[in-house]
Amino acid sequence: MSRDLKSDFWKGLGDTRAGLLAAGGEQPVPMAPHADAEAGVIWFITAQGTAADRAARASGTASFHVADSRANLYANVRGRLEVSDDPKKLDEIWSAVASAWFENGRKDSAVRLLRMTPEEAEVWSGDGGASFLYEIAKAKMTGDTPDVGDHGRLIF
pLDDT at 152: 85
Amino acid 123 reads V
The yes-or-no verdict on residue 53 having pLDDT over 90 is: yes
pLDDT at 145: 61
Count Cβ atoms below 10 Å from residue 118 Cβ, excluding itself.
22
The yes-or-no verdict on residue 141 having pLDDT over 80 is: no
Please list, residue by residue across 135-152, b when 16 or more beta carbons sit within 10 angstroms of its beta carbon and e when fewer do.
Answer: beeeeeeeeeebebbbee
Amino acid 102 reads F
CB 19 within 8 A of CB 68: yes
Tell me the pLDDT band of 134, cut-offs 50, 70 and 90: very low
The C-alpha atoms of residue 125 and residue 128 are separated, in whole angstroms, by 9
pLDDT at 25: 87
Count Cβ atoms below 10 Å from residue 76 Cβ, excluding itself.
18
